[in-house]
Structure 1
Amino acid sequence: MSRLSPPLSLLSNLSAVSASTTTEEEDTVFVTEQFLPRKQDAVFGDQFVFQTAATNKHIHAKLVMLPPFPTDSPPFAKSVAYLCSRSGSIKVELFRTVGAENHFFRLYIFACAAGVKITLPRSFRGIVSINDYEGLRARRQIRCARAFNERMRRGFIRISSCALENDDEIFIHAEGKIELKLRTDADDRVWSRMDRGMRTIFQRRLGSARLLNSVLGTAGSS
């Protein structure tokens, strides 16, 4: 990961990898990642990427796109996540909370010997790029839920590799089956309630960081 200054680091990702406790879970890496939008100029030339790689384990990741602070406005840099497993499957659940409509993401998934399951927020709009798409489709290894197909027919989702600035982006390389679906409104409301508590914590930490920078700046000028 990139090394960020104290104030900017508060706008970076907060990750947690849980320890496996059962025999079934020992083969799975569990990850929860929360992304705050970052101003384009604040990270110019400094790509911040969240990454999880597992040699022979499955990956179950929950990625949450949070809204910006009230003082921030678009455009924001796209949040980036990279998930890779050489022999395990990858399951990803993506959440976009209320107020994060302009917080876009770029997700890379590499399941070198297994399948992929992705659950996207209902507001997902952009591209899904799949390696060997035509071959996987001919072998019926790609499965899209009804709501996903409906959003494709309406033009909000494209199977392509050409993304716009206001597009979400997903890049998939998988040897097994690929399943794509959208979340329900009820699921998104649960994360919206959680978001209110998280924002309180972030605002307190940001205030502390600004106070510390002010004190250090005053001390440095004296």
Structure 2
Amino acid sequence: MSKLTPQLSLLSNLSALSASTTREEENTAFVTEQFLPRKQDAVFGDPFVFQTSATNQHIRARLILLSPSFPSDTAPLAKSVAYLSSRFGSIKAEVFRTHGAENHFFRLHIFACSAGVKITLPPAFRGIVSINDYEGLRRRRQIRCGRTFNERMRRGFIRLGSCALENDDEIFIHAEGKIELMLRTECDVNDRVWTRMDRGMRKIWERRLGSGLSSGHCR
């Protein structure tokens, strides 16, 4: 009987883990959306804007930016738009840009009213990241960036603010929990070497913004 005890204990632990995973999956909305580039600007409510809203569920989203179907569909292209919102759940979003979609830019709005946010972006992401209550979250150390994200920011490809150019990607985040920002890399897709947004990095952003940080959206 003593020989069976460790095995029974292991089976019990595995069963508990499986049940926990099942409950988490039941409480999670998994969504995948592919975006075809187009020339018309999208407006809220039209079929070209992807929207997912949940009350109690977590959201796990995979957003894929496709290349133009025909050579005539060249830049300038309208930005694809996605809204992800959860009242009590966390939100994880992965954005993929396929080969040939370098000029297919996007605008992503995320609202996690009671939880955290994790975003993984394409390696060549360039544009703005606007975070509601940035200063408060920064003081509470609730914002973390992956190493490659910070490196690209130091090179000026990523800015913290709200004034976007036509050829900028745009991320707008409202979250009460932790915010994690990562770039997918060619050599290491699991880049989890975190660096804190310290005063030096904040000064770089403020110099680039000129007028400081803002949560509004410039048109």
TM range (shorter): 0.7 to 0.9
Superimposed CA distance per residue, residues 46-100 of structure 1 (whole angstroms, 9 cap, x where no aligned partner) = 9531100000110000000010023311111100000000000000000001100
Please list every run of at least 4 consecutive aligned residues from structure 1 whose deviation after the TM superposition is greater than 4 angstroms. Answer: 43-47
- 1:67-146 equivalences under 5 Å are 67-71=67-71, 72-146=73-147
Q: Which has the higher helix share?
A: 1
Whether the aligned pair in 2 keeps the contact of 1:56 and 1:87 (CA below 8 Å) is yes
Output the CA distance in 1 between the equivalents of 2:66 and 2:108: 16
Q: Tell me the equivalent position of 2:56.
A: 56
How far residue 24 of structure 1 moved from its aligned partner, in angstroms, is 2.2
How far residue 40 of structure 1 moved from its aligned partner, in angstroms, is 3.2
- State which structure, 1 or 2, has the greater radius of gyration over its C-alpha atoms: 2
Q: How many residues align?
A: 167
Whether the aligned pair in 2 keeps the contact of 1:65 and 1:103 (CA below 8 Å) is yes
Whether the aligned pair in 1 keeps the contact of 2:96 and 2:122 (CA below 8 Å) is yes
* Secondary structure at 2:84 match in 1: strand
Instruction: Report whether the alignment pairs 1:28 with 2:39.
Output: no
Instruction: Report whether the alignment pairs 1:66 with 2:66.
Output: yes
How far residue 44 of structure 1 moved from its aligned partner, in angstroms, is 9.1
Whether the aligned pair in 1 keeps the contact of 2:57 and 2:88 (CA below 8 Å) is yes
**What stretches of structure 1 of length at least 5 have no aligned partner?**
1-20, 189-222
In the alignment, residue 49 of structure 1 is paired with which amino acid?
V
Structure 1, 43-52 or 105-114: larger mean CA deviation? 43-52
**What stretches of structure 2 of length at least 5 have no aligned partner?**
1-20, 190-219
Output the CA distance in 2 between the equivalents of 1:52 and 1:68: 25
How far residue 39 of structure 1 moved from its aligned partner, in angstroms, is 1.6
How far residue 184 of structure 1 moved from its aligned partner, in angstroms, is 1.9
* Secondary structure at 1:73 match in 2: coil
Instruction: Report sequence identity in percent.
Output: 77
Whether the aligned pair in 1 keeps the contact of 2:58 and 2:91 (CA below 8 Å) is yes
How far residue 102 of structure 1 moved from its aligned partner, in angstroms, is 0.2
Q: Tell me the equivalent position of 2:6.
A: none
In the alignment, residue 26 of structure 1 is paired with which amino acid?
E
Output the CA distance in 1 between the equivalents of 2:174 and 2:102: 27
**TM-score, normalised on structure 1?**
0.71
